[in-house]
Amino acid sequence: MKLTIFSIDKRHLLFVAAIVWLIASGMLFWRGTVYFVPINGWKLETIGSFVGGILFFRLLFDRISSKHISRIISLSKSRPTIFSFFSKRSYFLMMLMISGGLLLRYSHVAPNYDLSFFYFFMGIPLFLSAIRFFKAWMHY
């Protein structure tokens, strides 16, 4: 007997992926605001982190999210598992990035104030990727 409770059609898989990317970006934005302290130069650093995040999306995450959308649409199964929005390689990379972020935060290599801008910087491409997935979901 096959367990089909985790099966979902491709259109809704795009929606699940959008929600996952949105939650990840929200967690980063939340963490960034928790550590944020407005001191001298914060406006320039904030603008820099947002501009850098947009550039990072354009240079890397734009292509990554496009590849994931194309992969989901071209899946051979009409109802893949709900966890199919990432490839195995992407799950591995995600675990490495989360582990690296936790290691950076708990090692105290950088002060939390500086980490807030890093969290904003990384939250932007994830948020823009979520928007891309929502658009793909609506147009599929």
- Identify which has the larger pLDDT, 136 or 94: 136
In this predicted structure, the answer to whether residue 1 has a pLDDT above a threshold of 50 is no
DSSP states along the chain? ----TTB--HHHHHHHHHHHHHHHHHHHHHHHHHH----TTHHHHHHHHHHHHHHHIIIIIHHHHHHHHHHHHT-SSSS-BGGGGS-HHHHHHHHHHHHHHHHHHHHTSS-HHHHHHHHHHHHHHHHHHHHHHHHHHHH-
Among 37-41, 73-77, 110-114, 124-128, the range with the most confident prediction by mean pLDDT is: 124-128
Decide if pLDDT at 119 tops 60. Answer: yes
What tens digit of pLDDT does each residue of 31-89 get?
A: 998 888 777 778 888 899 999 999 999 999 999 999 999 999 999 888 898 888 888 88
Mean of per-residue pLDDT scores for the chain: 90
Quickly state the pLDDT bin for 134 (edges 50, 70, 90).
very high
| Segments making up each domain of the chain, as ranges | 10-74+83-139
Neighbours of 101 (CB within 10 A): 16
